[in-house]
Amino acid sequence: MTDKPRKFRRVDPDVRRESLIDAALRCLAREGHDGLSVRRIAAEAGVSVGLINHYFPSIDMLVADAYETLATNIADRMVKAVEQAEGTPRERLARLIEACFAPEIMDPALLKVWVVFWGMILHSPEMRIVQQRTNGRFCNVYERFLRDVAEAEDKRVDTTLLARGLSAMHDGLWLEFCLNPDSFKVEDGMALCHAWVDAKLA
Amino acid sequence: MTDKPRKFRRVDPDVRRESLIDAALRCLAREGHDGLSVRRIAAEAGVSVGLINHYFPSIDMLVADAYETLATNIADRMVKAVEQAEGTPRERLARLIEACFAPEIMDPALLKVWVVFWGMILHSPEMRIVQQRTNGRFCNVYERFLRDVAEAEDKRVDTTLLARGLSAMHDGLWLEFCLNPDSFKVEDGMALCHAWVDAKLA
DNA sequence: AACAAAGTTGTACGCTCGTCCAATAACGTC
DNA sequence: GACGTTATTGGACGAGCGTACAACTTTGTT
C-alpha cells in the first residue's frame, strides 16, 4: 500500500521560491563564496539545476532576494525582542543591545553570508539598492529606541548621529568577533556599546 | 642597433615575488573576488600562468602574503603620518584619526580587497593567523597614541578597551562608507571617532 | 665557446561553472 | 478518463578555473 513513486512533486511557487532562498542561505553559511553556485544550491534544496533559473533570472537576483529576506528577518526579530520587553526606555535599549549580541548574531557562519553580500554590493546595482534599504532599516531601529530614551530622560542629542555611531561600533565588533572569537568576550562588546550610549545620554 | 629581441627577462626572485603580489592586489581592487584567479593575476603582472605556481605553492599563499603586505603598509603609513607630526599627544591623536579617514583608506576599491581577505580568513588557517597578527598591530597603534594622551593628561582609563572601541567604530564607519559613500560625510565619521575618544578622555 | 643552473613559458588535463532548452511528468479542469 | 498547462527535469554547451609538467630561454661560470 505504498504511495506510487513520483519523480517529483509540484510545489506552490511562493513556497518553492522561499525554499530556494533558504537553501542558498544555508550554502552561503556553510561554504561562503564557494557555496554560491547553482548546482550546490539546487542540491541543497533537493531540486534539479534548471529549476533555479526557472525561478530566478540570474544567480545575482537569487542572492539579492536572499539578502533582503535575511536582513529583514534579523531586523524584525530584534524589534520584536525589544517590543515584548517591559521596563523603562533605558531598559528596553539594553534589551536591544543584548539582542545585537545574541549567539545567533555573533556567529562566524553569519559573517560568511554577509561577506558574500558585501562583495556583491560593490559590483551589483541591485544589491546596492537592497543594502541601502536594509541598512536604513537597521539605523531606524537603533534611532527609534535611542530617541525613546532621549525623550524620556529629556536629553538633547542628535539621535541620528548617535545611532550611526552605535551601528558602526556594533558592526566593527561583530566583524572582529566573527573573524576571531578569541579576541574579546561578548560581554566586553556589549559594555563598549553601552559605554558609547551612556557617554552621549549620560 | 636595436636590442636583440628576448622572449622574457629574468628578474630577481624577491622583486618578482613583490611584483606578483602587487598585481594580485590590483586585480582584487579592480574585480574583487572575480579577480582572484591565476590567469588574471598573471596577465596583470605580464607573465605566464605557470610562473605564479613557481613562486607560490597555491593561490591561497599568494593572497596571504598580499594580505600581510597591504596591512603592514597601511599600518606603517599611519604610524609615520603621526610620528612626523608635531604637537601635543592630543593633537597627534587627531592626526591619527585623520589618517584613518584619508581618501586612500575610504576607498571602495580597498574594501573590495578586504572583503576577499575576510572571506578567506573564515576558511583558511593561514589567513586567520595573518589576521590575528595584523589586527593586533592596528590595535597597538591605536592604543599607543591613546595611552600617550591618557598619560599626558593624567587620565585613568583602560586604553586597551578604549582602543578596541575606536577600532570597531572606525571599521564600522569605513565599511558603511565604502558600501555606500552617500550615507554620510567623511567629516561626520571623524567627528564620531572624536566623540568616542573625548567621551572617555574628557 | 661550452655547459650547468634555474627562471620562464605554454599547453594539456580534469573539473566546475552559468545558461539554455527540449523532453517529461504532475496537477487542475473538463 | 482525457487534455492542456506548467512546474520540473536532465543533459549539452562553451568558458574559465587550478594544477602539473616538459620544453625553452636566459644567465653566470668555467
Q: Which three cell numbers stand for residue A10?
A: 509540484
pLDDT tens readout for residues B68-123: 999 999 999 999 999 999 899 999 999 999 999 999 999 999 999 999 999 999 99
Question: Where are chain A's structural domains?
Answer: 11-56, 59-200
Right CATH for B11-56 from 3.40.50.10860, 1.10.10.60, 3.40.50.300, 3.50.50.60: 1.10.10.60
Task: Provide the mean pLDDT of chain B.
Answer: 95
* Record: contact A161-B192, CB cut-off 8 A: yes
Of B32, B184, B199, the CB nearest to A123: B32
Distance of residue A138 Cα from the nearest chain B Cα, in angstroms: 12
Query: Domain spanning B58-200 has what CATH number?
Result: 1.10.357.10
User: Residue B6's pLDDT is what?
Assistant: 85
Q: Taking residues B31-56, report their average pLDDT.
A: 97
Q: Which of A115, A134, A161, A186 to mutate to test the interface with B (most CBs of B within 10 A)?
A: A115
The percentage of chain A sitting over the pLDDT mark of 90, rounded to a whole number, equals 94
Q: Which three cell numbers stand for residue B13?
A: 626572485
Sole residue written with cell 553570508: A113
- CA atoms of A64 and A60, how far apart (whole Å): 6
- pLDDT tier at B5, thresholds 50, 70, 90: confident
- pLDDT tier at B1, thresholds 50, 70, 90: very low
User: Residue B202's pLDDT is what?
Assistant: 84
Q: Is the pLDDT of residue A1 over 50?
A: no
DSSP letter for A102, please.
Answer: -
Q: Which three cell numbers stand for residue B177?
A: 562608507
- pLDDT tier at B199, thresholds 50, 70, 90: very high
* Record: contact B168-A176, CB cut-off 8 A: yes
Q: Taking residues B137-153, report their average pLDDT.
A: 96
pLDDT tens readout for residues A55-86: 999 999 999 999 999 999 999 999 999 999 98
User: Residue A194's pLDDT is what?
Assistant: 98
Q: Is the pLDDT of residue B2 over 60?
A: no
- A9 CB-to-strand D distance under 7 Å: yes
Q: Is the pLDDT of residue B64 over 50?
A: yes
pLDDT tens readout for residues A86-120: 899 999 999 999 999 999 999 999 999 999 999 99
Q: Which of A139, A196, A201 to mutate to test the interface with B (most CBs of B within 10 A)?
A: A196
Contacts of A132 in chain B (CB under 8 A): 180, 183
Task: Provide the mean pLDDT of chain A.
Answer: 95
Q: Is the pLDDT of residue B4 over 80?
A: no
- pLDDT tier at A48, thresholds 50, 70, 90: very high
- CA atoms of A39 and A48, how far apart (whole Å): 8
Chain B residue with the nearest C-alpha to that of A34: B119
Query: Domain spanning A59-200 has what CATH number?
Result: 1.10.357.10
* Record: contact A115-B112, CB cut-off 8 A: no
* Record: contact B180-A132, CB cut-off 8 A: yes
Q: Is the pLDDT of residue A2 over 70?
A: no
